[in-house]
Structure formats: C-alpha cells, structure tokens
Amino acid sequence: MKYLPIDYSLFVQNRQRFAAKLKPNSIAVLNANDVMPTSADGIRSFIQNTDFFYLSGIDQEESILLIFPDAHEEKHKEVLFIRETDEQIEIWEGPKYSKEEATAVSGIQTVYWTREFEKVFRALVIEAERIYLNSNEHLRADVTVESRDARLLKWCMQSYPLHKYERMAPIMHDLRAVKSPVEIELIKQACLITEKAFRRLLGFIRPGVWEFEIEAEIYHEFLANRSRGPAYVPIVASGPNACILHYVQNNRQCKDGELLIMDFGAEYANYASDLTRTVPVNGKFSRRQKEIYNAVLRIQKAAIQLLRPGNTFEEYHQEVGRIMESELIGLALLDAGEVKNQNKNAPLYKKYFMHNASHHLGLDVHDFGNKYRKFEEGMVFTCEPGIYIKEEAIGIRLENDILLSRNGPVDLMENIPIEADEIEDLMNVAL
C-alpha cells in the first residue's frame, strides 16, 4: 500500500463495537469489493469496500470477514479469509497477504484461504440463529452493478433459507458516523495532502491553461504524497462550467477574467478529504466577483459555527438557508418582499444555491450517517455553501472539512488559503 501502516487496534476496536450491536447467536459476513473490469482483459485499480476495510483493515480483493461473537470456539469468533497466492500470481500481480501478514494488519488470529469459505461457513452457520449480511443502503447509491456482497446474499438465502436474516447496514451507518481519534488523524493527513495540491495550483493557474492540465497537477501532488489519488472525480470548472454542479469533463481552456471552481480531495489510507476553492483565472477578482465571493465566505463562516453537537441536519440547513437569503438580498439577487411571501417548501434561494451545505465525511466522501440523528462529537462534516448565477457565468463554492467537538467546530482545513486577498496575493506572487 502507498499509505503508512495503521495500528491494527483501530480495526480490533471497530469489530468489538460492531459485535456488541449484533443480536444473540448471530453470525455476520461481509466481502471485499470486486476488481472492476473495463473491456477485453482490462481492469480498474482496486478500491476496497469501505465497510470491509473499517472492520478488517485488509486492502485486498477476494477477501471475506466473518464475525460470530457467540461461536463455541474462541478461534471462530473472528475469521478472515484471504486470497491464496502462488508463483504465477506473484509473477503477474506481485505479492499478496500471507496469513501472518493479514493477522498483523487486522489483528484477526484465525485466517483461512478464500477457497475454504463455504466449508468453514457451513460448519459455523448451523450453530447460528441469525445471519447478518451487508448491502449498500446509501440514499444516493447506484446499485446497478452487482457486488460480491449482493452475490453472497443470494447464495446464502438459497443455501440456508430457514435462518433469520438481518441487515448489517444500519449498524455500519451508526458506527461509522462518529470517528475515532485514529480515523481523525487519517482524515487530517488526507486534508494535508489536499492543501499541498491547492498551494501547488495557485502557482500554476493562469489564462490559457486547460482544465485537464490543472487536474493533472492535482494528481501529481496526491501521488507524490502517498495518496492513491482523488477521493472522488475532481471538478475543475472554469467560466460557465462553474454553474454545473457535478461537472467532471474538465476539458475547457480557462480564460482571462473568468472564475475557476476546483472541487477535489485527496484519499489517504482509504479516508477522504473534500475541498472546494474558487479562484480568479488571472489572479485578480473583479469587483462583482469579489462581492459574491465574500458573501459565500461569510455564509460558510456562519455555517461552520452551526456544526455543533446537538444540532440536526434539518435545523442546520434551515438556518443556512436563512443566512443565504440575507446575502442574496444584499447582492440584489432576491427581493426581500418576495422572500417574505415565498412558499416555504420552495424557497427562492434555491435558484442560486441548489444543494445542501454539508454531508458526512469519512471512508466515503459522502459518508454514512442517518440524516435524522443529532450531531455528535467526533462526527466530521463538509461545509460547502455556494452561489451560482448562470446569467453572469459566475459560480462560487467554498468548502472545508469540519470536526465536531465539545469545544466547538474544528476546521481541519484552516491552513488552506480561503480569504480573497490571500488568494490574490499567492497567485500574483507566483506570477
């Protein structure tokens, strides 16, 4: 792996917390991700299933984790199955985990080869009353592609139809929403790599550069700092593209006088960061651009202060909406009287700010978490207000990653330049 070793106690503690939430006499099984194909004999780079990584620390394909807290034998309370290697695999793909290495990474003492799974599982499952299986229950998930977990679910229910089945996803959504100190340090490292990339870009952006050239600079800095690459597809959107929320083509030439939105974040040890900055292509905001930029920045600063334990997404987004309305009225984009009489279910500010201001962040960039759950210490959220004025080809979004603590919000990206004057100074020093 590119990243430095992680203390396996993180995964031991995660499994302990998970096991404590299982019903009595239950066995839980979850899979690593598939290696995804392209066409012919091509494959994509492997990216681990984040639930599987959270509980095992194993970053390898064809792996299975079994957790059976009430197993009769101690050695079967936690069982890991990994891909058996051979000389040909080592020649073509390189080394895979040995059983000893898998134990060192995960803290799991009992390790079998994946080909032994059905035999071992049968011997254990007949002792269990319930089977917990995993599925992707993220609200925005596209589950068109069948995963190894989905295939296991079909096989298991066909092979053992008389067992009681339980959903693993609610447990994982509950556990993963609050980050441990080790997880927070990994997210901080991802944020630090992202900062390095942004500072690199401030010396590179100029009129005439192409969006994909900027994207290439991002990849360079990420890979040079032990990141696998971006935690999500980078958005590099200049001029009118800045008003397309999920623009990822990144194929336009940046022009003098335009703004440039860059939404990107490094992955580190499978943990995500998520940054957005908006800069003037020529290094100098126009008066109108700066006016709107500073309005978005004021909104972000106010919104960050609302990210406190005890708040809820509903209350938070309502308050951010009120702050946004005030700023849009000040920019003469909304009329105060019309806002006062607006349909509360269709607020007028949505014309210029279409998305939510925050989401959970962790192993996934849109990480797991129940939207009705009160905010808690240890949660990590983005804070990303924006104003998009299609008629003026102006799109401005600013985003930082925020840790909730008992003493108030902690900005994990506080060292990344964001003030308009600082952005201009750094860009012009480079020029």
One-letter amino acid at 336 equals A
Annotated catalytic residue within 252, 355, 392, 425:
355
Catalytic residue among 62, 183, 325, 384: 384
Burial of 21 (0-12, 13-18, 19+ CB in 10 A): middle
Is 274 catalytic? The answer is yes
For residue 262, the 8-state DSSP code is E
Q: How far is CA 59 from CA 34, 152, 190, 204, 349, in A?
A: 12, 19, 17, 34, 44
Q: Which of 220, 246, 288, 322 is catalytic?
A: 246
Residue 232 annotated to the active site: no
Residue bearing tokens 């000389």: 87
Question: Is 366 designated active site?
Answer: yes
Catalytic pick among 399, 401, 411, 424: 399
* Active site annotation includes 220: no
Catalytic residue among 51, 263, 267, 411: 263
Of 25, 21, 24, residue with least CA distance to 55? 21
Here the tokens at position 384 are: 């990303």
Adjacent-strand bridge partners of 82: 113
278 forms beta bridges with 261
Residue 355 catalytic?
yes
384 labelled catalytic = yes
For residue 138, indicate whether it is catalytic.
no
Asked whether the beta carbons of 237 and 215 are under 8 A apart, the reply is no
Of 15, 176, 277, 359, catalytic: 359
Per the annotation, the verdict on 41 as an active-site residue is yes
The two tokens of residue 408 are 């108030």
- Which residue of the set 221, 397, 411, 424 is catalytic? 397
Residue of 274, 325, 364, 424 marked active site? 274
**Annotation marks residue 246 as catalytic:** yes
Q: Which of 92, 88, 108 is nearest to 18 (CA)?
A: 108
Q: Which one of the listed residues 308, 366, 373, 425 is annotated catalytic?
A: 366
User: Which of the residues 41, 87, 142, 391 is marked catalytic?
Assistant: 41
Hey, which residues are catalytic here?
41, 246, 263, 274, 355, 359, 366, 384, 388, 397, 399
